């Protein structure tokens, strides 16, 4: 197990061998992964050194001070925050070595094929079918929706129904889908902001080798829980400086535009500033807990706070700016690679934050998770729990 001093030494050796100013960005990132300095808590050979997760900050600080390139993590948030930990936990050694390196370097971007038109909040009711063929491969047919970044993605994490004769949670299997394969069609979905960062995806006779199955057949729901728990932490528990995120632009507008201030807005801004700081520190505490293991249901609480605060802060900012707050520069059918919550105008933030209640798990579902798995309250009655999927009313 590496110490902080050993990690500093390894990082400085990498910088000496490949000076950032004269080294190709991708070459540097690949070498960093191979040196075990990408995810220091991952195993050796898979981008890490088996070190405590908390020591990643030591490496990052050395590299940042030297002006080394990073892997532009926002561009591949689904891959880094969701696919990678799932592959690490459930993938074969061959899968780990094939996928993790180009995922971390950003050479291959990932998306998530989970939600469906008839199975969003009730994800386990999904109907996309994967049927095993005589040669062992799978043929997949169905439709997925709300797929962020599908238009830029090389790979997708996919859950599909492989057994309709058992209850809905039991008949699901988890796959890795090649987004360039025949039968994969990506169509843009225009959002309230005017852009189309997410999509609907149609799968028509898409053939997936069994070698790209993650976990056991029929165990996809358990595998997906790893993905979903990591997703909520990635969304709600991201590392931010003080006044990072939505509260930053709102506070900056308040300071720079004194003519807009009112007593009522001042009181509301102070309250939201305090709540944002509490959420930021709570997220830091959650990340420290992750050092000891996999994320749990606490991530659902962080994601709930993230959505509520974003919506309340952006609403206050629009009120503060008045008519000016309703407009923003570009309301065209753009196909962005990533969502920029803080680099756009207040009107954009206000509209885009509405989606925070849905993405990464709807508010209603997350409230149930917190109630049942964190607070220990009685579970809601579920009449379909033991009913075969094929017999469910849809």
- CA gap 3, 242 in Å, rounded: 28
Nearest to 247 by CA among 216, 270, 213, 217: 270
Of these residues, 62, 200, 231, 317, which one is catalytic? 231
- How open is the CA angle 273-274-277, to the nearest 5 degrees? 85
Contact 115, 256 (CB under 8 A): no
- Residue 231 bears catalytic tag: yes
**Dihedral, CA atoms, 378, 280, 232, 36, nearest 10 degrees?**
-130
- Cα dihedral across residues 197, 311, 304, 357: positive or negative: negative
Three-state DSSP at 23 gives coil
- CA gap 6, 14 in Å, rounded: 12
Output DSSP code: residue 119: B
241's tokens = 């400086």
Residues with catalytic annotation? Answer: 231
């Amino acid at each position: 197990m590496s110490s902080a001093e050993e990690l500093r030494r390894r990082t400085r050796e990498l910088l000496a061998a490949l000076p950032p100013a004269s080294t190709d960005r991708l070459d540097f990132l690949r070498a960093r992964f191979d040196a075990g300095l990408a995810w220091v808590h991952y195993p050796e050979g898979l981008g890490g050194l088996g070190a405590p997760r908390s020591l990643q900050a030591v490496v990052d600080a050395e590299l940042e001070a030297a002006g080394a390139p990073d892997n532009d993590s926002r561009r591949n948030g689904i891959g880094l925050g969701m696919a990678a930990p799932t592959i690490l936990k459930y993938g074969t050694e061959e899968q780990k070595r094939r996928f993790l390196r180009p995922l971390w370097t950003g050479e291959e971007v990932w998306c998530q094929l989970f939600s469906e038109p008839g199975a969003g909040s009730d994800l386990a009711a999904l109907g996309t079918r994967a049927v095993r063929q005589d040669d062992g491969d799978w043929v997949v047919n169905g439709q997925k929706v709300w797929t962020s970044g599908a238009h830029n993605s090389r790979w997708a994490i996919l859950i599909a129904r492989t057994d309709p004769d058992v209850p809905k949670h039991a008949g699901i299997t988890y796959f890795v889908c090649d987004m360039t394969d025949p039968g994969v069609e990506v169509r843009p979905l225009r959002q309230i902001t005017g852009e189309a960062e997410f999509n609907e995806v149609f799968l028509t006779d898409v053939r997936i080798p069994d070698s790209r199955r993650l976990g056991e057949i029929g165990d996809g729901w358990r595998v997906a829980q790893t993905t979903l728990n990591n997703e909520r932490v990635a969304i709600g528990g991201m590392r931010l400086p003080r006044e990072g995120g939505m509260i930053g632009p709102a506070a900056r507008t308040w300071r720079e535009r004194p003519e807009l201030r009112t007593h009522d807005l001042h009181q509301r801004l102070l309250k939201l500033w305090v709540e944002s700081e509490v959420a930021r520190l709570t997220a830091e505490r959650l990340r420290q807990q992750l050092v000891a293991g996999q994320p749990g249901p606490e991530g659902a609480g962080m994601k709930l706070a993230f959505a509520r605060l974003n919506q309340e802060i952006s609403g206050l900012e629009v009120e503060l700016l008045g008519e000016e707050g309703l407009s923003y520069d570009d309301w065209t059918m753009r196909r962005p690679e990533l969502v920029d919550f803080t680099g756009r105008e207040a009107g954009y933030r206000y509209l885009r934050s509405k989606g925070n209640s849905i993405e990464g798990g709807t508010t209603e579902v997350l409230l149930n998770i917190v109630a049942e798995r964190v607070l220990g309250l009685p579970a809601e009655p579920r009449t379909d729990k033991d009913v075969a999927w094929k017999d469910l009313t849809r």
